[in-house]
Amino acid sequence: MAKPFQKPGKRRALHSKACHSDSDLRRRMREYLADLKRRRYSPKSIDIYGRAIADFAGFIEGDGPVVLPEITRQQIEAYRLHLLDRGFRPASVGVYLRGVRNFFGWLRERQLLFVDPTEGMRAHREPRLLSHVPTEEDVRRLLAAPDTGTPTGLRNRAYLEVLYATGLRREESLRLEVGDVDRENATVRVMGKGNRERVLPLGSGASTWLDRYLADARPRMQKGLDSDALWIGKDGAPLGYPAVAGILRSMSIRAGLEHLISAHAIRRACATHMLRRGAHPVQLQMLLGHASMRHLSQYLHLTITELHEAHAKSRPGQ
């Protein structure tokens, strides 16, 4: 994806001061982002929306300050073409336009303008390919890959088991603390996007390996450090993203898998395998921490595609 803030061209450079003035557009932008923060949107979402709206403001104010109610649909369309000219992929253009549409929708809801120039505007998207989902056999081989005779291997097995049992996002898994685990009830408390808390069952396999990690491996890895983090390295410090990526890569290779498996691939596997085994989509939505059913479409699409393939192969009625 191209960088969102590129060096302004000649047309925009003539009005750089106007672009950075405290215009009505930029004041409303700050109010909108502050409102998202109050409504507990994730920092990542706020950052993406902020960059999109700031980039739009820089483009729209290229010829001087603008009045919000006077922004037209034609100007929004010109901005879309401007993003494409800068080398943005259609999917990235969609992300930026969604940020702009949400902003104008917010303005309309608060009666700060009466006509939304983005209303009815649809993003131009590239065809979305279905992501690779590890099979149940892939996951079994991955779970069996760690050498559980060592503290780090025992940690790796417990970590993989917990990811697959709960469908946690990578960020959620690394924010876990020891106190979030209820060993008696075999559950884990997770703080997800938008500071939405959920309590998830671990299942017998994940619970057993997590108990072994907490009882045998983690105390030996602490090295005298007093950390509340559930997942720690052999130096006693909390695991970070690079360490997790390294663990998943090495375990995928050790398992002899055709595709390297990421934390998100395990999340997809958890969701897809549960659907295949009869889980209700609403239950899956609660497990994964999705705000709406729309986010389950990729998993439902995959299982429906497989159903069509099975139907074609079996040729019922013939």
- For 90, other C-beta atoms within 10 Å of its C-beta total 14
The two tokens of residue 240 are 């970070």
Whether the per-residue pLDDT at 285 is higher than 60: the answer is: yes
| Residue 54 pLDDT | 94
Distance CA 233, CA 173 (A): 14
- Given a cut of 50, whether residue 187 has pLDDT beyond it is yes
- Which conformational region is residue 186 in: left (phi greater than 0), alpha (psi within -120 to 50 degrees), or beta? left
- Average of per-residue pLDDT across 213-225: 91
CA dist 262 → 18, 136, 191 (Å): 45, 15, 21
Of all residues in the chain, what percent carry a pLDDT higher than 90? Answer: 45
Catalytic annotation on 7? no
**Structure confidence by residue, pLDDT tens digits, 58-80:** 998 887 778 888 898 889 989 98
Position 1: which residue type? M
pLDDT at residue 131, rounded to an integer: 64
Q: Which of 223, 264, 280, 308 is catalytic?
A: 264
Structure confidence at residue 298 (pLDDT) = 59
From CA 210, how far away is CA 212, in angstroms rounded?
Answer: 5
Catalytic residue among 169, 218, 268, 273: 169
* 169: annotated active-site residue: yes
Q: Which amino acid is at 137?
A: E
Catalytic residue check, 301:
no
Distance CA(181)–CA(230), nearest Å, equals 9
Instruction: Work out the mean pLDDT of the chain and round it to a whole number.
Output: 81
Q: Can you tell me the mean pLDDT for 297-313?
A: 50
pLDDT over 80 (residue 208): yes
Closest CA to 59 of 45, 71, 47: 71
Residue 194 has a pLDDT of: 66
* 259 is an active site residue: no
Q: How far apart are the first and last CA of the chain?
A: 49
Known catalytic membership, residue 28: no
Task: State how far the Cα of 93 lies from the Cα of 124, in Å rounded to an integer.
Answer: 8
Torsional sign, CA 37, 43, 49, 50: positive
Please identify which of the residues 41, 159, 164, 299 carries the catalytic annotation.
299
The tens digit of pLDDT for each residue in 119-150 reads 877 655 554 545 678 899 999 999 999 999 99
Contact call for residues 152 and 234 (beta carbons, < 8 A): yes
pLDDT-based confidence at residue 182 (cuts at 50, 70, 90): very high
* pLDDT score of 13 more than 60: no
d(CA 40, CA 42): 6
Mean pLDDT of 197-208: 91
Residue 273 pLDDT:
86
Tell me whether residue 267 is one of the annotated catalytic residues: yes
What proportion of the chain, given as a percentage, has pLDDT over 70?
81
Domains of the chain: 10-109 (1.10.150), 136-263 (1.10.443.10)
Q: Which of 195-209, 211-225, 273-287 has the lowest mean pLDDT?
A: 273-287
Of the residues 15, 98, 170, 193, which is catalytic?
193
Separation CA 241–CA 248 (nearest Å): 11
The two structure tokens encoding residue 25? 């557009």
Q: In the chain, where does DSSP find H-type helix?
A: 10-13, 16-19, 24-38, 43-60, 73-85, 90-109, 136-143, 151-166, 170-175, 203-212, 218-221, 241-254, 263-276, 281-288, 297-314
